[in-house]
Amino acid sequence: MSSPRPLALLIAVFFIPLKSFSVSPGVTTSRGLVVAAEGHAAEAGAAILRKGGNAVDAAVATALTLAVTYPRAGNIGGGGFMVVRLADGTATAFDFRETAPGGATRTLYQDGEGKVVKGRSTEGHLAAAVPGTVAGLAMALERMGSGKLAWAELVEPARALAEKGFEVTDAMAEDLSASAELLGANAAARRIFLRDGKYYTAGDTLRQPELAATLGRMQAEGPGEFYTGRTAELLAADMAAHGGLITKSDLAGYRAVERAVLRGEYRGYELITMPPPSSGGIALLQMLAMLEGYDVASLAPAGAEKIHLFVEVMRRAYADRAAYLGDPDFTKIPVSELLDRDYLGRRAATIDPKRATPSKTLGGGLSAATEATKPESMETTHFSVMDAAGNVVSCTYTINGIYGCGVVAGETGILLNNEMDDFTSRPGTPNAFGLVQGEANAIQPRKRPLSCMTPTIVLRDGKVVIVTGSPGGATIINTVVQVITNLIDHRMTPADAVAAKRFNHQWLPDAITHEPGFASEAVIYELKAKGHELRLRKLYPNDPPRWSGTQGSAETIVVDLVTGVRTGVPDGRRPGTAAVAE
């Protein structure tokens, strides 16, 4: 039978637009601004700045609002990381990554024969880890908030939007129906997000009365209510009724952790980024240190030489990630060895400018040990905040998969994460995406799964010049390295630096994944001739078709040191991203 496919393919190839998404010129101001994945949430933060709140106050309001208006990733049922730098130079990181429940075991997601059971670590109650977002936001507020605005005031925009509802956009309607299978498997999620099968369309109002009630309790009783109050009771009861593991004692025992930021340097710029349990900061600093030995500025931004160099640097950093990284409270992580300039110089010296290094010949560089990594997938969101005084927040948080594990916990209205899938389900066994991961990241009770989230702040002469980060699972670190080098080396405008087409190499699989149009046909030919395999980015599971092929969403702030002008650039790849000035 003759198939119509080749013709369809030809048409598809011809019609992949070079600029498949809109390029936002950004919003400029000399005062404060918030850049986030959704407009109500960016506005909620900006309104707090107008009331005299600082960047941390605004970040708390934005994060809570995203939990209502951007349920695919915004959350109080997940976790994340926030890097803060105050204008006085103080910098710190808040780790509110989820933890494995006390009842979790190494083999939780395996069957009796030791095989990983498909879907068990990604869908339903068993996939959820103990949420950290509320504890992390509360800790950040207590430590670094202005003290001028009470917790209750910061919860209010989110609570009001959950109660009164907000208008569903075209993109959100499309997004919800793309996840109908996942959300439809849980009664509360089906009722709230799919209207029991009467799907939302653009212009409808999405109200979340249970979530409003939960936020109302947290508003009245404080953030501890989530962990020890009625919310904890409802969440634990729903877990017990549906075979989940999270108990009241897991919730009561959850603690956010304040960690020392990771610092590095690149061509005279200072970087402040996230330490483990994210792999993001270490891998970012490793890549930049390896790149520093090359004159990146002289290379064409989308040329074969540049892409080859970046891919080789990415490959080496991700191989180290696989071999050495995990939760620092459970695994000894050789941070200073991994960031040692001599080590990274030797590592970069193994790059052959003419040939791709096959990943199978490359393990962790500190020793001969090779363990494979599991690049994550699916959904997360990043936002950047700067206030008029120059305090900044870079925050990436997540429920992992799009709409997490698809479960709304009973009457809480809270959509839960499936962060357990960021752990090693079985060392050496490929996961659902055909990838394998390492021992340092094996499941243990109360352990934090390894992450790629990379909230980052860049300074020059002690002044903030870039605040950035991105969702995108395993690709996050590579998105951040490209945004930063587009600005520092290629001297792109803020809008171009964020819009430039992206590519990704994560050691395994041994292939470059890329956005459509990331390089010319001639460059692609050259890369193939060097031995690289290239794959057009695929749609993540549950992603709506219009987001096909995009990598990340870097909601970024760039400050012009000469004029002091601050530009907030919402990433045009995703519909609805917004920058709102104070």
Q: Where in the sequence numbering do the catalytic residues fall?
A: 380
Q: What angle do CA 304, 309, 313 make, to 5 degrees?
A: 150
Pick one of 208, 231, 384, 398: the residue that binds ligand DON (CB under 6 A): 398
The secondary structure of 169-219, three-state, reads: CHHHHHHHHHCHHHHHCCHHHHHHHHHHHCCCCCCCEECCHHHHHHHHHHH
- Only one of the segments 188-196, 213-221, 378-386, 495-503 lies at the binding site for ligand DON (rule: CB under 6 A); that segment is 378-386
What part of residues 208-237 is at the interface with ligand DON (CB under 6 A)?
A: none
Q: Determine, following the binding rule CB under 6 A, whether residue 250 of this chain makes contact with ligand DON.
A: no
Structural Rg of the chain based on CA atoms: 22
Which of 400, 444, 456, 556 touches ligand DON (CB under 6 A)? 400
Per DSSP, the residues of 517-541 read TSS-HHHHHHHHHTT--EEEPPPPT
452 binds ligand DON (CB under 6 A): yes
152/539 with CB nearer ligand DON: 539
Q: Which of these ranges, 289-297, 469-477, 528-536, 561-569, lies near ligand DON under the rule CB under 6 A?
A: 469-477
Per-residue x/- track, 495-534, ligand DON (CB under 6 A): ----------------------------------------
Contacting range for ligand DON; rule: CB under 6 A; set: 238-246, 366-374, 429-437, 470-478: 470-478
Q: Determine, following the binding rule CB under 6 A, whether residue 121 of this chain makes contact with ligand DON.
A: no
Quick one: 29 or 373, whose CB is closer to ligand DON?
373
Q: How far apart are CA 339 and CA 326, in angstroms?
A: 16
> Which x/- pattern over 418-447 shows residues binding ligand DON (rule: CB under 6 A)?
-x--x-------------------------
**Rounded least distance, CB 302 to ligand DON, Å:** 23
Binding ligand DON by CB under 6 A: which of 476, 500, 523, 554? 476
Q: Is 327 exposed, middle or buried (0-12, 13-18, 19+ CB in 10 A)?
A: buried
CA distance 97 to 78: 8
Among 453, 487, 557, 569, binds ligand DON (CB under 6 A): 453
Q: Which stretch binds ligand DON (CB under 6 A): 5-13, 101-109, 265-273, 377-385?
A: 377-385
> What minimum distance in Å lies between the beta carbon of 49 and ligand DON?
27
In angstroms, rounded to a whole number, what is the distance separating the alpha carbons of residues 79 and 567? 28
By C-alpha distance, which of 492, 555, 567, 447 is closest to 130? 447
Q: How far apart are CA 480 and CA 482, in angstroms?
A: 5
**What type of residue is 31?**
R
CB closer to ligand DON, 474 vs 497: 474
Rounded Cα gap, residues 173 and 192, in angstroms: 13
Task: Kindly state the number of chain residues that form the binding site for ligand DON, as judged by CB under 6 A.
Answer: 15
Among 458, 438, 462, which residue's Cα sits nearest to residue 450?
Answer: 438
CA–CA separation, 567 and 24 (whole Å) = 11
- Cβ pair 284, 276 in contact under 8 A: no
- Interface residue with ligand DON among 132, 281, 404, 473 (CB under 6 A) is 473
Q: How far is the CB of 398 from ligand DON (least distance, A)?
A: 5
Token pair, residue 537, equals: 């980015």
Taking the CB of residue 142, how many other CB atoms lie within 10 A of it? 12
CA–CA distance, 405 with 398 (Å, rounded to integer)? 12
Bridge partners of 396, per DSSP, are 81, 382
Q: Which of 380, 425, 437, 504 is the binder for ligand DON (CB under 6 A)?
A: 380
Q: How far is the CB of 93 from ligand DON (least distance, A)?
A: 15
- Decide: is 189 part of the binding site for ligand DON (CB under 6 A): no
Q: Is 571 in the site for ligand DON (CB under 6 A)?
A: no
**472 makes contact with ligand DON (CB under 6 A):** yes
Binding flag, residue 378, ligand DON (CB under 6 A): yes
Compare residues 159 and 574 and give the one whose CB is closer to ligand DON: 574
Query: For 387-454, where are the E strands, in sequence order?
Result: 392-400
Number of residues that this document lists for the chain: 582
Q: Which is nearer to ligand DON, 182 or 452 (CB)?
A: 452
State in angstroms the smallest separation of the CB of 197 from ligand DON: 27
Residues at the site binding ligand DON, with contacts judged by CB under 6 A: 376, 378-380, 398, 400, 419, 422, 451-453, 471-473, 476
